[in-house]
Amino acid sequence: MKRFLLAIGVILLAPHVRANSSTWQPSPGHRQISIWPTSAPDAQATGAERTTIQTQHLVAGKPWTAVENVSEPTITVYSPSGANTGVAVIVLPGGGYQELAIDLEGTEVCEWLNTQGITGILLKYRVPHSGPYWDPQLKHEVEPQAPLALEDAQRALGLIRSRAAEFQIDPHKIGVLGFSAGGHLAAAISTHFEKRLYAAIDSADQESCRPDFAVSIYPGHLWGWTPGKNPNFDLNPDIANHITRQTPPVFLVQAENDNVDNVNDSLVYYIALKKAGVPVEMHLYAEGRHAFGLRHTAFPITDWPETMKIWLETIRMIPSKKSPVP
């Protein structure tokens, strides 16, 4: 999300943006649930939460909404109104760990998942500086003092698993799906589930925070992390050093002409997963660039949801609609 965020900084000064100082609210019929019973651990002052409707940098001809200064992380549950597979997907919007593309890579995805009989759970995790981010002044990636977004993801997974019956989901079929920085967060929670980064609070923290599968769409912050050297073909060691055979199955999608996060972000993760014997499926496309979410464009990469559905069938998360091969 590096250049994307720099562009956002310019866009926010333009007249084609409508800002709202109030906190983001989901559409009627959906309730935000605080994931922490009291103050979140490692709380940091971020200023008042603000939503910004982007009307200049359109995606598929439509504006999108960014949320900044999230200090009170929440989940919002989107339950299917028809058939229910019992599968749940925690959706992790991108935004460079500086903001959240809350509709483009959040609510729109949850609503589509509902049409597939899947419960979508939107995680509004803490930003800014809650994960590795690009510092335009220092001109390199910066690791935060505390990975607040990963703390939120760990807490959310345990909380959702502890309330599986209430949400009408199978506690053994809970996955994560992230975009850009959210794609990195999906990788982080897939490799950091053995030990929580915070002291246990209640019974929800006794539940496993390992996702049963993970999807990263145009992920960032995974490639070129050797300190003191030029970016090379290395996986971020914070991810690489925690990949084991227990890492859940992974699905990757990225465009080779991604203008924000290099396609090597997916490549180095794929190679490391293969070496560890983790089931992984990767789809690379010549064109498509970055930050298209679920919105359909002229590029074939935006058909990724249908490809992901087939993958979910192959890993036996959702029932296959095809007859078994004799």
Q: What is the pLDDT of residue 254?
A: 98
Lowest mean pLDDT among 36-50, 55-69, 229-243: 229-243
Which structural domain, as residue segments, surrounds residue 8?
2-39+49-314
In a domain, 44, yes or no: no
Cα–Cα distance for residue pair 10/106, rounded to 1 Å: 23
In a domain, 325, yes or no: no
pLDDT average, residue stretch 228-248 = 84
Q: Which of 43, 57, 117 is nearest to 87 (CA)?
A: 117
Q: State the Cα angle at 251 between 248 and 255, rounded to 5°.
A: 150
**Residues in CB range of 78: below 8 A, 6 or more apart:** 30, 107, 110, 111, 113, 114, 119, 120, 121, 122
Lowest mean pLDDT among 9-18, 76-85, 182-191, 270-279: 9-18
In a domain, 323, yes or no: no
What total of structural domains would you count in the chain? 1
Q: What is the pLDDT of residue 45?
A: 83
The answer to whether the beta carbons of residues 41 and 151 sit under 8 Å apart is yes
In a domain, 140, yes or no: yes
In a domain, 326, yes or no: no
Q: What is the pLDDT of residue 145?
A: 82
Q: The domain that contains 90 carries what CATH number?
A: 3.40.50.1820
pTM given for the model? 0.91
Give me the percent of the chain exceeding a pLDDT of 70: 89
Is residue 48 over pLDDT 60? yes
In a domain, 319, yes or no: no
Is residue 69 over pLDDT 80? yes
In a domain, 299, yes or no: yes
Cα–Cα separations (whole angstroms), residue 236 to 21, 163, 269, 272: 35, 33, 9, 11
Q: What is the pLDDT of residue 5?
A: 41
In a domain, 269, yes or no: yes
